[in-house]
Every structure is written in structure tokens, then in C-alpha cells.
Amino acid sequence: MKSALLILLVLSYSVTSRAQTEFIKKTVTINDANLAKDIQSLVDSANANKLSEQRTWRKLMHYELNAFGRLVSQVKDPKFFLSENGHRNLNAELQATLWSYYAPADLKDEHAICKFPARLSWLKSKLLNHPAWTQLPQPNCYYFDVFLRNLNAESISFVFSSYYANNPGSAFGHTFFRVNKKIKEGRAKQELLDYGISYAANVTTNNPLLYFINGLLGGFAGTYASVPYYYKVREYNDYESRDLWSYELDLTNDELQQMLYHIWEVGPHYFDYYFFTQNCSYHMLTLMEAASERIELTSKVPLYVIPSDSVKALYEIPGFVKKVEFRPSLRRHFEDKWSRFTAEEKNNFLFIVGNYSEDNLKTLKFENIQRKALFLDGLIDYIDMKDPNGVSKREGHWFHMKEKVLMDRAAVDVISEPVAIPVPEDERPDISHPSSRVSIGFGENKMLIDKNGKRGTAVGFLNFRFAFHELLDDSHGLPARSQLEFGNFKFQFFENDLNLESFSFFNILQLNPLRKLDPKPSWGIDVGVKNMTVCDGQRSCLGSGLQVYGGYAVDSGRHMAWFLPFVHYRYGSQFEITRNYIAAGYQLGYLFEASQSYKLLARYIKEVPDRFKTVDSASVVGRFNIKTNQALEIEWSNPTLESTEDIHATKFLYHYFF
């Protein structure tokens, strides 16, 4: 027996590193010489077929090129690897995996067969009919069996949770899987009993600045989680009033099984979470890629992965999306009921939510019992929407109000009317414009002075935006009347020089129209670098800092207007009076949307700095969105309205989205 073990170790050493041999020696002891030879034959066959170099093995191990051009695993948990250097050596990990499958069966759930079934399934498919497979141990994989039995999967859907600008981590949307259970014969589909599987950061701070820095630099660990789907519905549909779009995937039975196996494999392990690259959408795509050779998705999206782009990537594989489903948010449910209220019922509703008491509710008169049921149903939806956290924690004014309203509703012996909310096809995330944009144009800028002292010479413009959306862009499939941009560079070409006009690292503007029932303020923030006019005539006068807005907006049909007071801070080493520019002011804005193709935006800005001249400026921009990925724009601006000179800039731009 000792000689058989010695032969095994010698053979292992010939194909692995010394560290790998020591690892096998510590974890796998094969006392059967014939079995040891069969296993080594299996390893030799894997080497001969170069399995460790194949794409699927790389995907199962989550190997990608890092920032230094090295092929390493993105999984950071050492427990994911069976080789001591498995995170950077694909072949060593493959060999260690094969040997580990022959460990004693009494390891049960800790056995490699139980922990890494997707690897085993793929290796078997590539080394068919090898005699070593017949000698695999049969450990009792209790927890793995429970996992598959609870999922009872018939199919998998890729779910997009719509944009939620009130949380920076969800402003771009969110994606996760829904595992659709098999429907028992004679029973209707019960979607809430499906399972949701998601990837997210394990957030360790409530500080918004630290949250953003950690998310940007990989300071959080990212992990997968599996919960009943109704938890996801409660979190997104109800708590945050976000619509859910489900894209059912056309997977074969083998692909479905392999995907579930791999979800089990990576579930207990952690990655580094990066907000723009290795985020929820990216790792949803990598899970699918590990299931089949034909599924290639990460190459279809940019380096920075926007959730809506990951949805579009599904359509790059012909026929991959089998069906699209829409689940409306709690807000849509409430608005549906509100739209069916009479004018009197709306007035009564406003009175009750502002002056609720059981006596006040009892004084209301309804045309019939059905109208009363509709009124109370709308009131319950509104309470859930108004304070979801308080209701879930069973505390606060709104929770106690809901308890009493539910009792009143229980006394009304009427079944609620079925909700029939039309599917908003123009809001599907897969039809939105591409997230990146490049712009070129020409015009004149009379703020600039040429070598001869003349104003208004020809100027060229070049802009590049990494992501994602602004007010004038085509808003099909995107949040209406909001702006969310990341990495927006604007250059102007003047006298053979390319000068930076501005760079917005992060620019968000959320315009919330005032509503009687939901008087949310509008707000915005712009962080980055801007070319200022406080450097005594210098062409380049860059200042880094931010502007923070807060105010109110109103709308009427295609028209929207807003008033946003702001504070503004910039630091510039070339500023004329002081390096710190501090100002307060306000912005008046007007947006007219004749259609998705034709839009007009006008702004007036009054800004009063601490030690510099007052800024009094205006601009008007017209946009014609030719297609989803192309647009033409004309812009007129005057940065110094108080000046007696005609100082303005005119731009003609062509935008291309990709």
C-alpha cells in the first residue's frame, strides 16, 4: 500500500508543481494502486486534450485578464480552489480537482463532488467513457440535494429592476436571476414562490462618500445570495417602487443544470466588488457563460457594465430570450387606482391621508360598496408606498394607520377588482440607447480670443461620455426626465490646441414633478472639473469641485420647469483672487419634449461667488434624435448676460451612441 501511494506522489510530481504535490499529499490519499493509475490516466487525458486551456474551464474558474494583463481568477476566496495556486494556475487547479474527486466518501458535504458539481459535469463531458469515472465515490451531498430540490427549476429568467436614483448603488438599475419553479399539473403558476439569485456588495458603511469610494476601488466583498422571489418583489417592487422586467432564457436542459450547478459552486465564495466593472450585471453574465460554450456575453458589453447593457447583450445570441414579462411596481398599482377615483374621491383621499382618524374615515360617503373597496385598496397601497420601512418594522404612524385601514377593508365584503396595468413597451430596458457616446462638432466661442485679439474665431468640439443618459437623449427604456452621466469629457479645439472644457466624473439630476400626494424635491450633483472664467483672461482656467442642487419641479404634459438653488465649490491653482471659488445661486430650467425625437432645453443661471464677479448666464439647446444611436444638436449660450459685449458661443454637434 505504501508503494502505491509513493507511485501516486511521484506521478503527481511529474505533472504538477511541488506546492501542488504537497497539497495533494495532505488532502487525498489513494491506497489502491490500480485506482491511482486510473486517476493519473484521467489527469493525463485532461492534459493531452488541453482542457485547462479551454474557454469553459476558464469561465468555471472565473479567470479574466487583470489590470496588469495577467490571467487570474476574479474569485478572491481561497476556499474556492483545490490547489494552493489555483487562483493563478488553471492546469494546477484542474489536476487538483480531478484528484480531489476521489477523496473518501465520508467527507459528505465537504467532498469535492458535493462542492464542485459543475466542474465534474463538464470534465465528464470532455473525457467520456474513461474507466476512472466508474470508480468515483458516492458521498451523501445532503445540502446540494436540498438546494436543487428547493429550486425545482424549470427555467431561468434574467430580471432587470428599474432605475432608482434615490440610491447611488441602484441609479443604473439592478439585475438578478429568477429561478422559475416547475408547475405542478393542475395548478396555476405562483411566481412569488420562485427563487431569486443575485450578486451584490456586502456594504460595511452608511457614509455615502465611503460607499462610493469603496464601490469604485473594490473595497467591498461581492457575494451571491439566494432568497425566495417574494423577498425580491418586496424589496424592489414595493419598498422602492421599481418595475421588474423578466427575460426568460432559452436554455437546454443540460445548460440549465450546468448553470444551477455553477451557482451552487460560487454561492459560498466572495469576489471583489467594483461598482462599474465587476458588478451585479457582470457576474450575472459570467454565470451564464460558464453554463455553455455558445453563451458569450461579457464581450458584448463595455469594460464598465451598465445593467441595461447586460440586458441588451442577451439579444446578441439569436433566440436566447424566450419571453419577456413585466411586473409593475407598487406605485403603478396605486396610480392605477388613483386614476379610477372620482374627483370627490380624490378630494376625500387627500383629506384622509392628511387628517386620518377612524372617525374621519367613517364620515365618508361612497356611491356603493365597490367604490369603498377601491378607495380602501388605494389607501393601503399609498401607506405601503409612503413608509415601507416603518410598515415592515411594525412601527410609526403609517403602520398603525394601515392596521386600522386593513380592519376596515376586511369588513367590506367585496373582492378587489383585478389589476390590468398595460405593459409600457416603450420603457423596456433592452430598447434603450447605448450607454457610451462620442460627439463632434463646430461653431464659435466669443469668450475665446485669438492671437490677433479677435473674438469668435472657428472652434471645433469633441466630447466623449462613458455612460449613460442626459435629459435630451432619447428616453425610450430609460427613466423619464432624469440625468445620470459618468465620465463625460468635453473638449474644444482652438488655434491648434485641444483644451478641456469640462469633465464630469459623476453628474446626476433627478427632476421629480410636484404631486399633492408625493411632494418629492428635485435634486442633483455634479462632481468634476470645469473651465472657469476667473483667471484673468487665460484660456485654460480649470477648477475641480462640485455643485449640489436642491429644489422643485413642475410639469404639464410635454412641458417641465424647475427652480433649483445650488451651492458651488471649485479649487483652481490659477484662479485670480483666491484658489477657492465658493458661490451660491439658482438655476431656472425649462424642458419641452415635442416627442422622443425633438427636445428643447433652456436654462438661466444666477451665481453669486464670494470674491469673484457675479455669473449671469443663459443657454438654449435643441436636439433631434435621428435614431436610437444618433442625434443632431444645436446650442446657443451666453455666459455673461450682464456684459455690454456680444459674448456668446454657438455649437453644432453630431452625437453617436455605442
Q: Where are the alpha helices (DSSP H) in 315-357?
A: 330-339, 343-354
The pLDDT, as a whole number, for residue 10 is 27
Give residue-wise pLDDT tens across range 486-544: 999 999 998 888 889 999 998 999 999 998 888 889 999 999 999 988 887 666 889 99
Picking from 633, 647, 551, the residue whose alpha carbon sits closest to that of residue 600 is 633
Greatest CA separation found in the chain? 100
Q: Which three cell numbers stand for residue 590?
A: 425649462
pLDDT band at 4 (very low <50, low <70, confident <90, very high): very low
Confidence category of residue 17, pLDDT binned at 50, 70, 90:
very low
Residue located via cell numbers 483672461: 537
pLDDT band at 216 (very low <50, low <70, confident <90, very high): confident
For range 394-411, the mean pLDDT: 95
Residues in the chain: 658
The rounded distance, in Å, linking the Cα atoms of 459 and 444 is: 5
Residue 523: predicted pLDDT: 94
Q: Say what the pLDDT of residue 279 is.
A: 92
Most confident of 152-161, 388-397, 514-523: 152-161
User: Three-state secondary structure along 133-152?
Assistant: HHHCCCCCCHHHHHHHHHHC
Given a cut of 90, whether residue 302 has pLDDT beyond it is no
Distance CA 83, CA 323 (A): 41
Confidence at residue 495, expressed as pLDDT on a 0 to 100 scale? 80
Please give the grid coordinates belonging to residue 519: 411632494
Chain-centre distance of CA 533, in angstroms? 37
* pTM of the predicted structure, to 2 decimals: 0.88
Q: What separation in angstroms does the CA of 446 have from each of 373, 441, 453, 631, 635?
A: 65, 16, 11, 25, 14
Can you tell me the mean pLDDT for 621-636?
95
Mean pLDDT of the chain: 90
604 vs 586: CA distance, rounded Å: 8
Pull the grid cell for residue 369.
Answer: 360598496
pLDDT at 480: 80
Q: What is the pLDDT of residues 324-343, one digit of tens each?
A: 999 999 999 999 999 999 99
pLDDT of 22 above 70? no
Chain-centroid distance, C-alpha 75 = 20
- Interval 30-52: pLDDT, tens: 667 888 899 999 999 999 999 99
Q: Can you give the pLDDT at residue 16?
A: 36
Cβ atoms of 285 and 298 closer than 8 Å: yes
Distance (Å, whole) CA 201 – CA 193: 25
Question: How far is CA 560 from each of CA 481, 529, 585, rounded to the nearest angstrom?
Answer: 9, 28, 20
**Are 580 and 603 a contacting pair, CB within 8 Å?**
no
Q: What is the DSSP string of 355-384?
A: S--HHHHHT---SSHHHHHHHHHHHHHHHH
**CB of 599 within 8 A of CB of 622?**
yes
pLDDT at position 5 over 50? no
> What letters, b where the CB count within 10 A reaches 16 and e where it falls short, cover 329-344?
bbbbbbbbbeeebeee
Q: What is the pLDDT of residue 13?
A: 28
The Cα 436–Cα 110 span in angstroms is: 46
Lowest mean pLDDT across 5-19, 56-70, 176-190, 465-479: 5-19
Q: What is the pLDDT of residue 33?
A: 82
CB distance 295 to 315 below 8 Å: no
Sequence-distant (≥ 6) Cβ neighbours of residue 382 within 8 angstroms:
334, 349, 353, 517
Distance CA 283, CA 273 (A): 10
Q: Among the residues of 225-289, which ranges form H helices?
A: 229-232, 253-266, 280-289
Distances (CA, A) of 520 to 511, 609, 650: 9, 29, 35
H-helix or E-strand containing 41? helix 33-48
CA neighbor of 80 nearest in space, from 115, 106, 104, 129:
115
Tell me the percentage of the chain whose pLDDT exceeds 90. 74
How many C-alpha atoms does 256 have within 13 Å on its Cβ side? 21
Q: What pLDDT is attached to residue 598? A: 96
Higher pLDDT, 60 or 31: 60
Please, what are the domains in the chain?
Answer: 2-139 (no CATH), 147-327 (no CATH), 331-410 (no CATH), 432-657 (2.40.160.40)
pLDDT attached to residue 18: 41
SS3 content of the chain, % helix, strand, coil (to 5): 35, 30, 35
Share of the chain above pLDDT 70, in %: 92
| pLDDT one-digit tens code per residue, 122-151 | 999 999 999 999 999 999 999 999 999 999
Q: Which three cell numbers stand for residue 217?
A: 476601488
